A and B are shown apart, each in its own frame.
Chain A
Amino acid sequence: GAVVSQHPSWVICKSGTSVKIECRSLDFQATTMFWYRQFPKQSLMLMATSNEGSKATYEQGVEKDKFLINHASLTLSTLTVTSAHPEDSSFYICSARDRSGGVDTQYFGPGTRLTVL
């Protein structure tokens, strides 16, 4: 299947700092990428949908000024957690939508574990 990478795989930061997470589709172009968050022992919760060249669409309850999403190319989307606080500590996972060859499937990255001290 198609490969999606994320960087970094884990990050520890101080409260009040900003953290950027990158999501790349390595062998396909993705006009649409998605960002999820997962707290311990819970399921994945969609945060936002990112479309290349346009503004992201955020799910209800997700602060767009806190979680900045940029999808500047067909293979790269970034999520910046601004002024991070301990409650933002979570597992952040991106996915990219592959619509090539008549297939329509989302492939997920390995996730980024964020710990805010």
Chain B
Amino acid sequence: DAKTTQPTSMDCAEGRAANLPCNHSTISGNEYVYWYRQIHSQGPQYIIHGLKNNETNEMASLIITEDRKSSTLILPHATLRDTAVYYCIVRVSYLNEKLTFGTGTRLTIIP
């Protein structure tokens, strides 16, 4: 599995857009980028995933660079409830590939 690198922690003001970067320079052509978040003492929550095109859903937007070596998760209007650890994971989608969690980014939304 390609490895990912994320900042350890970030702060964002409430109401602002939170932009969480992820580097995955060794990603393979058939590997997808997945984002999950874990709020304290809960199971991880799926946010979004993509292969090469930018993706958007009701929770967030995912921007993947053209060379696919990095991506950014965007929470358009951060709220206090978005405070969590955010994990960027790459995996091959069509195999029984496990999700390997790194240390993620601890995002704190500041009132």
Contacts and interface: CB of A to CB of B under 8 A. Distances in A.
Main secondary structure of the interface of A (DSSP, over half): strand
A27 to B, nearest CB: 14
B61 to A, nearest CB: 17
Interface in A2-25: 4, 6
A97 B46 CA distance: 12
Given A1-B46, A43-B104, A106 B99 contact: yes
Interface in B85-100: 87, 93-94, 96, 98-100
Contact of A49 (B41, B93, B96, B100): B96
Interface stretch (A67-75, A77-85, A108-116): A108-116
Contact of A108 (B45, B94, B100, B104): B45
B49 A108 contact: no
B100 A46 contact: yes
A105 B46 contact: yes
Contacts of A36: 101
B103 interface: yes
Contacts of B38: 44
Nearest to A43: B101
A85 B89 CA distance: 32
Given A34-B99, A43-B103, A104 B44 contact: no
Given A32-B96, A49-B96, A108 B44 contact: yes
Shortest Cβ-Cβ A-B pairs, 9 listed:
A108-B43, A44-B101, A104-B93, A43-B101, A108-B44, A111-B43, A93-B43, A110-B43, A109-B43
Given A46-B99, A108-B36, 13 more contacts: A1-B46, A34-B98, A36-B101, A43-B104, A45-B101, A49-B98, A95-B43, A105-B46, A108-B43, A108-B45, A108-B46, A110-B42, A111-B43
Interface of A: 1, 4, 6, 32, 34, 36, 43-46, 49, 51, 91, 93, 95, 97, 104-111, 113
14 contacts: A1-B46, A34-B98, A43-B104, A44-B44, A46-B98, A95-B43, A97-B96, A104-B93, A106-B46, A106-B99, A108-B36, A108-B44, A110-B42, A111-B41
